[in-house]
Structure 1
Amino acid sequence: MTDASNPLDKAALLEAYRQMKTIREFEERLHIEFAKGDIPGFVHLYAGEEASAVGILSHLNDRDRIASTHRGHGHCIAKGVDVHEMMAEIYGKATGACRGKGGSMHIADLSKGMMGANGILGAGAPLICGAGLAAKLRGDGGVGITFFGDGAANQGMVLESMNLAAVWNLPVVFVCENNGYAEATSRDYGTAVKSYVDRAAGFGMPGVVVDGTDFFAVHEVAGELIRRAREGGGPSLLECETVRFFGHFEGDAQTYKAKGENEYNRANRDCLKIFRAKTTQAGTLRESELDAIDAEVARLIDDSVASAKAAPQPSPKDLMADVYVSY
């Protein structure tokens, strides 16, 4: 992971691309596998939003905490959660990150600072205030990042958490991943303000809007906000204007989208294509280097699916394990 104070060198750029490509291939493969009927529960895919997760979380380390959403696979991968354990968790297997109990919407790995994906809209905001308060009391420079969508931005707990973070001056960054739709409701129809950063001003914190399809723009702005939080400057809000290539959930017919919208976004607003173009045209990276990563990631995803399918189911005795904490 990179440090906010250092520029991106070649190794960091290759790692950023690897993470974004891993997220993309993970989600594209899940789209195929879910249709076969072997995956239990709901699946909400993050494809299209990779630059947001990687651009922000590349500034963090394991002591920093994040709280995710129901669309959390990208956040997990960008925070360092093992891909094999993630795939096994989605298949509900005993080798999963949560031993098959959480599934797609509740993957967590506290050792990586990943407090969990969450099926409740906006529920990560109060959780990250707790993580921010703990970091502040410890004085270890840790920060907390909470992600939520444009729909969840209208939840009361998000606004209450922003107020709390401001009152307590917590080292927290609120990230609104605005993909234009709250499930099937257009952002323009369901939200009164033109930008979510208008709300940040109401709580006395800075807010910034960034092109969420541009990794470099996200990385630069996120680095400044995270540095500010580490140094005691308090909370802030980052709105990433992005797109999702698939529906709200697998099986969503997406009748609320304009004809050709997905095709246009794939052709013109694909964060991986934008990253490739910028780095190769500048001569920083070569196409062959990126192609090699593509091949490595494809093998990783193939292996994770095969391993997940072959893994054992949880046993009946696992039902009550890890449910209660013993002090």
Structure 2
Amino acid sequence: MTDALREAYRVMRTIRTFEERVRDEVATGEIPGFGHLHAGEEASAAGVCAHLDDRDAIASTHRGHGHCIAKGVDVKAMMAEIYGRKTGSCHGKGGSRHIADLSNGIVGGGPPLVCGTALAAKQQHTGGVGVAFFGDGAGNQGTTLEALNLASVWDLPALFIAENTGYAEATASAWSVASDNIADRAAGFGVPGVIVDGFDFFAVHEAAGEAIERARGGGGPTLIEVKFTRYSGQRESLDCLKWFRDRVTDSGELDPNVLDAIDAEVAKLIEEAVSEAKAAPKPTKDDLETDVYVSY
């Protein structure tokens, strides 16, 4: 258990440090485009992905850095991708919003594609599950609702994780979503709907664990709504890392010095990732038509 707690903290700290550094680097103008951050939502990615392995696939969102890190995508390759470098996980062609690493089970495209990965796992009897992370804005998309219906009709081993921050970019959920809870929509498709506190890693971990175990056992899909608010500044009372740290140190499960050491290791990793990304070559015009078609 101690090892699992250390790993959970390491994942969340890596996501937070990575995102804060991306925010700072975007401000310098060296990173092309925007950086949509997952900071403050770490407990969702870490709590769900702690149950996953190489059999499983996830589909992320435009705030997908955290999901990728939690699933095991190489941090240095991710940073190089965000910098648009040839050494990036998509050879500099995807950028912040389209990071992918198929060797780690990351697929881009959302709930409908997760139905495909879940169907493949079911047909091939691998025991794998497909997990789709999406925001409250995407919860209103027809494709998300159609995917939920399809997963239920086909009894697929799939999880749909609605990360509800209360805002779809700049649109309040209270204004744009008819129901108070996204999870309430699960009843319309005959699947379980669960609401968890997004600042509590342990709540997310428990709910995801139950849903994934049920999916692996043939019990079908689940919709989990993870509720939190956007993180910024000094909002310590709404910080999932602080909640986690206080709980495991107060209980004596982990020593504060152990967590401090992890903080230092992660800071060193992110510093190296940025330095190596800045030094890496950019794609050239000769790379333009590569990675477009599959070669058989």
State TM-score, norm by structure 1.
0.89
Q: 2:3 aligns with which of 11, 24, 28?
A: 11
Equivalent residues in 2 for 1:128-277, closer than 5 Å: 128-246=114-232, 263=234, 266-277=235-246
* Letter of the 1:30 counterpart: V
Q: 1:282 aligns with which of 251, 257, 263?
A: 251
Contact 2:193 2:225 in 1 (8 A): yes
Q: 1:320 aligns with which of 285, 289, 293?
A: 289
Equivalent residues in 2 for 1:105-116, closer than 5 Å: 105-116=97-108
Aligned to 1:89, what secondary structure does the other structure show?
helix
Aligned to 1:173, what secondary structure does the other structure show?
strand
Aligned to 1:35, what secondary structure does the other structure show?
helix
Identify the residue that residue 80 of structure 1 maps to in structure 2.
Answer: 72
Contact 1:46 1:244 in 2 (8 A): no
* Letter of the 1:182 counterpart: A
* Letter of the 1:10 counterpart: T
How far residue 61 of structure 1 moved from its aligned partner, in angstroms, is 0.3
Q: For this pair of structures, how many residues does the alignment match?
A: 296
State TM-score, norm by structure 2.
0.98
* Letter of the 1:80 counterpart: G
Q: Can you list the C-alpha shifts for 1:197-228, whole angstroms capped at 9, x where unaligned?
A: 11100000001000011000100110000000
Distance 1:315 1:56 in 2: 38
Q: Can you list the C-alpha shifts for 1:173-200, whole angstroms capped at 9, x where unaligned?
A: 0000001101111111111111111110
How far residue 149 of structure 1 moved from its aligned partner, in angstroms, is 0.4
Which stretches in structure 2 are left out of the alignment for 5+ residues?
A: none
Q: Which moved more, 1:183-192 or 1:210-219?
A: 183-192
Q: Can you list the C-alpha shifts for 1:276-304, whole angstroms capped at 9, x where unaligned?
A: 00000000001100000000000000000
Cα RMSD for the two superposed structures: 0.9
Identify the residue that residue 306 of structure 1 maps to in structure 2.
Answer: 275
Matched, 1:50 2:42: yes
Q: Can you list the C-alpha shifts for 1:25-46, whole angstroms capped at 9, x where unaligned?
A: 0000111110000001221000
Distance 1:146 1:41 in 2: 25
Aligned to 2:199, what secondary structure does the other structure show?
coil
Aligned to 1:309, what secondary structure does the other structure show?
helix
Q: Which of the two has greater helix per residue?
A: 2
Q: 1:37 aligns with which of 24, 29, 34?
A: 29
Contact 1:23 1:47 in 2 (8 A): yes
Aligned to 2:107, what secondary structure does the other structure show?
coil
Distance 1:323 1:190 in 2: 37
Distance 1:32 1:192 in 2: 37
How far residue 63 of structure 1 moved from its aligned partner, in angstroms, is 1.6
* Letter of the 1:205 counterpart: V
